[in-house]
Structures are given as C-alpha cells and as structure tokens.
Amino acid sequence: MPVNKDGTPQHVEFKNIQRQMRHLFTIYADMESFLENIDTCSPNPNQSYTKKYQKHKVSGYRYLIKCFEDKLFKPKFVQYTAKSPDEDVSKMFVDSLEADIKDLCQKVPPKCTKTDKSKRKDRNKFEYATKCHICNGELGDNKVWDNRHYTGKYRGTAHTKCNLSRIQSSSLCSFTIPHVITHIYLSRILV
C-alpha cells in the first residue's frame, strides 16, 4: 500500500457524500479478446476518415457479482473461455449475465421498512454518538438513526442532512451496464 512521507498509509477521502450511491449488488466484469484483420475499402482522400483494419473478437470473460453484505448473498464468480473460434462469446457473456441478474432479482428479500431499535448495543451507540458516521462532523442535537433499508441493520448516527443526501437506489435490482459491454452487445445485434 502506498504511504505518505511520514509513513502513514495514503487513503482517499470523499467530500461529496451526497453523490455516493449504494446498490445491493455490484458486478465487476472483464473480457478477453484478440484482434482479427478485416477487409476495408479504399478511403476517399478528399474526406476525413478512419481506416478500420482490425476488430476485437471476444475470446473469454469473467465476472464477479458481489453483494454489499456477504451475509445476504455469497459472491458469485463466473468465467468462460471459448472452446472454438466460431463461438459467439460476447452473446454468451450477455446471456449469462442477464440470466444471473434475473435470478438475483427473484432471490432478493423484500425491502425492510422498519428498524428494530430495541437492541441495547445499537441504542447506546446512537445515544452516545458525538460524530456523524458519514461526514465525521460533530453531531450536536442534529442526529438521526441511520440504518440499511434492505436489512434494517443499524449503520450509525448521522446528521439529518447527511442521511437524506445519501442517494439510495430506487430499485433493489438496478444495474449499470458499462459502455463497452453495451457496445459489444449492440454491435452483435445490429450487424
């Protein structure tokens, strides 16, 4: 781990807490490919152009589906390598990922709406808290009980403003597909 000149570990601090977004699941994906030569036509020298002479052929993929809390769902790792050059690995990737996402959405427990504040340990943490667990600022009289909306688990004591400014996903099963994956999928469909 990188360290500062005084030997303390370097770390990242988030200043725009209101821009944080918590999702139940995060998907980390990677694709492997090789380059294939393609035939091109002669460009027009009177116009600006890009000469395409190679394209990426997907040869394998792997992805990890990770829940923010491993107690709810164990991480799922998926990996595939092409067995022949004729396989449409990008389609297999999208189909596999789509099936796993649908499966997860069916397994997600209903969203908790109430928190059990009767746990003495959590109540004591709330009552005696002096700093906001989100921004680390002094609390004073402006404090609220912050809990995970999916599990009801107490997260910490926070300022009202910090708690309300945290962006929560409106859907338990909302996923963002990176541009590269979308491009591969659409190029497969549109060709």
Tell me, yes or no, whether 12 lies in a domain: no
**What pLDDT was estimated at residue 87?**
92
Q: Which domain holds residue 127?
A: 120-168
pLDDT digits (tens, 9 = 90+) for 87-125: 999 889 989 988 888 888 777 655 544 445 457 788 888
CB 72 within 8 A of CB 109: yes
Domain count, the chain: 2
Do 88 and 135 belong to one domain? no
**What pLDDT was estimated at residue 113?**
43
Do 27 and 83 belong to one domain? yes
Mean of pLDDT values over 120-145: 84
Distance CA 100, CA 105 (A): 9
Cα Dmax for the chain: 78
Do 147 and 75 belong to one domain? no
pTM beyond 0.95, yes or no: no
pLDDT digits (tens, 9 = 90+) for 13-57: 667 765 666 677 888 889 899 888 887 767 777 887 777 788 888
Tell me, yes or no, whether 13 lies in a domain: no
Do 98 and 26 belong to one domain? yes
Tell me, yes or no, whether 140 lies in a domain: yes
